[in-house]
Structure formats: structure tokens, C-alpha cells
Structure 1
């Protein structure tokens, strides 16, 4: 597989380091007893910065360390070494009283909602305020607007059994916002929801981020979630951050093998098996070359395909194409084929160089 015009800039060590909300510094976490050789290393030296006001995603396979990492932020797990800081506060140095104070500034939403079935939506949202000793009048002043914010003002007296999955998650979000946190953690919060409901929850999280200036840190194995909502992303594998950067850069130009594997079905055009099964790495006379053209930024809105045809001749087949949005930016890819002769290839490569198109030679077919 040959790539052109895909020069990769170094992976940033810490996006948003000038104003961090969360800092992971050489974080390790080991479960079990190392002395008895029964230990398991979940995190093996994680360095990562979550910028204040951002929506940041951490993606990885099951068992990669995602959940452990996010649970260190509010002290649900204690790290083995290194440092986790939230808004400048060293989480590992806090006693139980300090952790209770921290958790009022760090909200969390869960995959399975974690609502109390015996309490109404109103009472579930009120629960963290009751625990904090807030007066009944103050609770009343806060809970109603929170339910309105998540679109459930008319469901205040409904019990969880009377709510849909999406409505339960909205109650969970309202509850997480009750103590006016500056950071919201999302632990696979949309994994139990259907695609339409997931989209509505993501829109709600974007609204909260924009209107309240709330920093959101989410972990997920759903690439569509990160692609839709996150401004930056980190990829975790075997307890280490193996790649990080802006969501657009990571999704359109993944460099680590794990990232490429995770994103293989999430971005770009997919070719049918009858095409890929016939691909060859080298050409023989009479073959056609298959090339993926990538469009983003200014190139996404230019009639470059028509210009390619005009440049190299009419014998250009369009095999597949798609256009999508990644972190609010347009991204498209198109797979074309044309004769793999030296003359046509030279004209095509000259056109790609002149226009700045990103291309990838997929192989050759008879």
C-alpha cells in the first residue's frame, strides 16, 4: 500500500497544556499483590492532559485501561504511582473528606444510568444535593431547571421504570450536574442506547459543554461517539496512551496500528469484497490502479473529480465514495480506478501534487 502527501507531524505531548483541567502524569495502576505474583497492571505510565472547556475522548479496546483511568479522576480508584490532578488538585493526596469535596466538582454519568428505582426523576436529581446537606428550598430551586435543561421538565414525578433508556440517561446527566461541577465524566454513557437516542444525548452533552463551559471527559469504544462530539482524542492500548491529538487529525491520519484497527470501519469509504479480493500489490500490463482520494478543508468543496477526468482522460471509474463530518469538519473519500500506464500515472500524480490532494494507492486489478 502506497501513501502520498501524508506527512505526519509529531504527536503533541499535551494538547491544551496551557490551561489543563485534568493532568495524568506518569500514572500507573496495579491490581492484586505483586509480591505474590498475582498482580495485573491496568495502567503502565499514562501521560495525558484534558484541556479546560474541551470535550475529550479516550478510546480503546475492552481491557485497555479506559475505565480504570477515568475512575482515578474522582478517586473511585487509587493510583499506584504517578499523579492525577483535577483543576490543580492532587487527587492522590486527598483524604476521604477531600475526596467528597472533589466529587462535588466532578460529575459522572454511567452506562447503565445507576438511578434509584424507588425515587422519582426529581428525587434522583435531588439526591446528591441531599447528601451535601443542601436545604429543601435550594434543592427545589435547582432541580426544576436541571430537568428543564435536559428536556424532562414534564417527567419530574416519573419513576425510572416509566422512562425510556434515553430519558433515564438524561436524568443521570441532570443528577451529575446538580452540584454544579466543573468536570463531567462519561463512562460509556451511550453504549446501552439505540443510535437515534445516542445522537440526542450527544447533542445534549455538546449543549451543556457550550452553555455551561463544562469540561467533558468521556471513554467509549464507539468511534461514532468520539467522531461526533470530541475535539481531541487519546487512544489507549495495554495501559498506555499510544496516540493522541485532535479528533480530526487522529481519524483522518491514524499512525499507530491500534488506532488504525479501531478506526478501520469508522472512517472513509468501504470497498466491497469482490473488489478487495482481486487487489494486487504490483501492476502488470493492462491493469488498472485503485486510488483513494481524500478531501478535507478547502478541497472538500472543489470540483476536483471533474478536473481529474479532464487531466487524465475519460477512462476514470468511480468505485465508491462518501462524505462525513468529523469533529465539525467535512471529510470525504473517493475510490477511483484508471489505467496503470506510466503516462496516465504521471499525469495523475502531477495533478495530485498541484491540488494538494491526499491520495493512497490501494493496489491494482486486472
Structure 2
């Protein structure tokens, strides 16, 4: 679970950010700026933790601190209890063998085959050819490309290239896998297959995954825990289900507004009024989860209030393996109907938000 660094046992922590700030000095035409400001965050061993935020929020700087590509200006980053910022070059090389990395743009060598790309970090480490073969072939099979050993990157699709990038990241048998916008260049169907692969690797290998993304759909699909970063600061964190169903910070709420079922149809949104007119209808967003997501709520609502209910928008989905739903409905705005509806919502554990009124 993603929780404050001080409340988790060190044996359970894969990565700890302890009061980390990163400041970049002025350079050429670029002014000095602070990319990260006093970040404290713990990534639990064996979790898939998402770091989400808008472009420029500090996500990539955060992940570069983990493998020592950047050093903090203040504070400490610990990986398996080791202070990354205190390591010399030899220590960093050892660390990076235990930290795999997959990238948005794959970073494959065009002159090398699939096998050669996956084998590269092992060759650099000085492993003999037989041992390399014994390590690489099962990894290529694991990512579902058993028939592509001798192909070159130019012959592969984007999803296949990313699978090879994942196999290469696993070649040194890391304990931690860093993913920096790894699905941003892929279409939705391919993205889903890559996320399923990451979930399988996490489950089968017990690998901790730290996933950087700006895509809420990715976080929803694969992570158990999430931290939201804005202007270099962690503004919200917790289990993914809790953050998605009860977002507290404005940045989180804004990011979640783009998810299917969260946005009103434009024609309805334009017609919303802040107060009810005579004979008008109230527009309400209902959020429900757990057992409530499996009940026939709308039919029961109609029976309870004795009035018609229009469904305007909605979605039923899963977050962190738990059922979750969001519905936007409209019903009569007269006081009696509204009071009956509020009693129904309260009795069924639904979270409600009045969005406005329509004639």
C-alpha cells in the first residue's frame, strides 16, 4: 500500500522517498525551478503502485531518482534500504541490476534481433553465452513472443516492441520494475494487453512495479495503490479504489473527470441550471461500489420514489478488482421526490452529488 514512509516496516518497503526535493539550477535560457518539493512516499514490496499527474508535475524526475539517474537536492531515496544518492558508480551499477526499466518509446537497438535486445544487459554484465541463452529464451516466451526470437524491431508492432522492452528489463532478474509512460504510445487494445502482462509478471514473479503515467485508465486497470503528484508535491495517495471512489484533492478530481461515465453529455451539461424551476428535474451523480454495484438500484429507486428516473450517463467497472459504478440520473425536483430519493440513497450506501437542474 502507498502510505507515509514513517508508518511501514522497512522490511516491507521496496522504495522509500524521505523528504525528497529536487531543484534544477538556471541553465542557458531556462530559469531555475523546483521539480520535487519535500516528497515522502513509500512503495510496498510486491505492489503495483501508480504515480499519476499532469505533464510537468514531476513524475519522470521522481522515477529517475530511484535508479540514480538524478540525485536529490535534499532528502533520501532508499531502494531495499540502500540510500541511492550515496552510491558511487560501482554501487549504482549494482543497484541498476536489481531495478528494471521500461520506456515509452521502447529504446530497442534496430541492429539487434529480439534475442539480442533482451540479451544486451546480460552481455554487458559479462554473462557467458550459454547462461544468457538459458535466461533469455524463457523471458521471450513469458512475454508471448516465442516465435519472434530472430526478428528485428522493424518487423514488430508497437505492442510487440514493448513486450521485448519488458523482457529486457527482466533479464537481470530485478526486484523492482520501473515503467515510465510505457503505454502512452500504444493503442487502447495493445495497452490492455501490456497491462495484463504487467499484472501477470507482478503475480508470478512477486515483482514490485512502480508505474508512472498520466492516464487514469491505466491506473484503474492495473495498480493496487496510487499517489497523485501536482507541481512537485504528492497531493493525494492511498489504495487505488479508495482514491478513485473518494477523491479529495482538486487535481485528483480533475484527472478522474475524464473517465468514462464521469463526463456529462455536452447537450445536458450546457442546459444545467443552478436552481430548480417549476416542474424541473434534478440531475444527480450516483457513485456505488462493492455489493451495491450488483444490485438493481435504478428499478428500486423508481419503486421507492414513485416517479420516473432517466439515466443520462454511466459506467460499471472494476477498480483494484472491486466492482465500481457511476450513474448520472435525473428525476423530479419537487421536495417530496427529492426527500424520498435522499432516503433511498442513504439507506443503500450511495455517494451522491447534485450536478444541477434541467427544465
What corresponds to 2:60 in structure 1? 67
Deviation per residue, 1:129-154 (Å, 9 max, x gap): 11111111111110111111111121
Question: Is the partner of 1:155 in helix, strand or coil?
Answer: coil
Displacement of 1:327 in angstroms is: 2.0
1:78 and 2:64 matched: no
CA distance in 1, matches of 2:260, 2:45: 27
1:265 and 2:262 matched: no
Q: Which has the higher contact order (CA 8 A, sep 6+)?
A: 1
What corresponds to 2:208 in structure 1? 215
Q: Larger deviation: 203-212 or 301-310? A: 301-310
Q: For the structure 1 residues 313 and 15, does the alpha-carbon distance in structure 2 shift closer, same or farther, using more than 3 Å as the test?
A: farther
Deviation per residue, 1:75-99 (Å, 9 max, x gap): 0111111000001111011000000
Deviation per residue, 1:114-168 (Å, 9 max, x gap): 1111111111111111111111111111011111111112111111111111111
| Structure 1 unaligned residues grouped into runs of 5+ | 1-10
Match of 2:87 among 90, 94, 112: 94
Q: Is the contact between residue 15 and residue 50 of structure 1 (CA under 8 Å) also seen in structure 2?
A: no
CA distance in 2, matches of 1:344, 1:258: 34
1:316 and 2:309 matched: yes
What corresponds to 1:7 in structure 2? none
CA distance in 2, matches of 1:287, 1:360: 17
Q: Larger deviation: 260-269 or 165-174? A: 260-269
Match of 2:195 among 197, 202, 220: 202
Q: For the structure 1 residues 189 and 33, does the alpha-carbon distance in structure 2 shift closer, same or farther, using more than 3 Å as the test?
A: same
1:161 and 2:149 matched: no
What corresponds to 2:110 in structure 1? 117
What corresponds to 1:5 in structure 2? none
Displacement of 1:237 in angstroms is: 0.7
Alignment root-mean-square deviation, CA: 1.8
Q: Is the contact between residue 16 and residue 50 of structure 1 (CA under 8 Å) also seen in structure 2?
A: no
1:190 and 2:183 matched: yes
What corresponds to 1:305 in structure 2? 298
CA distance in 1, matches of 2:3, 2:213: 22
Displacement of 1:17 in angstroms is: 2.2
| Structure 2 unaligned residues grouped into runs of 5+ | none
What's the TM-score, normalizing by structure 1? 0.93
Deviation per residue, 1:239-277 (Å, 9 max, x gap): 111111111111222111111111111153432122111
1:233 and 2:226 matched: yes
Q: Larger deviation: 88-97 or 314-323? A: 314-323
1:106 and 2:99 matched: yes
What corresponds to 1:242 in structure 2? 235
Question: Is the partner of 2:274 in helix, strand or coil?
Answer: coil
Matches within 5 A, 1:336-355: 336-355=329-348
Question: Is the partner of 2:259 in helix, strand or coil?
Answer: coil
1:175 and 2:168 matched: yes
Displacement of 1:329 in angstroms is: 1.6
CA distance in 2, matches of 1:139, 1:12: 38
What corresponds to 1:27 in structure 2? 20
Deviation per residue, 1:293-318 (Å, 9 max, x gap): 22210101112211111111133222
Question: Is the partner of 2:325 in helix, strand or coil?
Answer: strand
Deviation per residue, 1:293-350 (Å, 9 max, x gap): 2221010111221111111113322222221222222111222222111111111111
Q: Larger deviation: 164-173 or 176-185? A: 164-173
Question: Is the partner of 2:202 in helix, strand or coil?
Answer: helix
Name the count of aligned residue pairs.
355
Displacement of 1:64 in angstroms is: 0.7
Question: Is the partner of 1:153 in helix, strand or coil?
Answer: coil
Displacement of 1:37 in angstroms is: 9.9
Q: Is the contact between residue 260 and residue 314 of structure 2 (CA under 8 Å) also seen in structure 1?
A: no
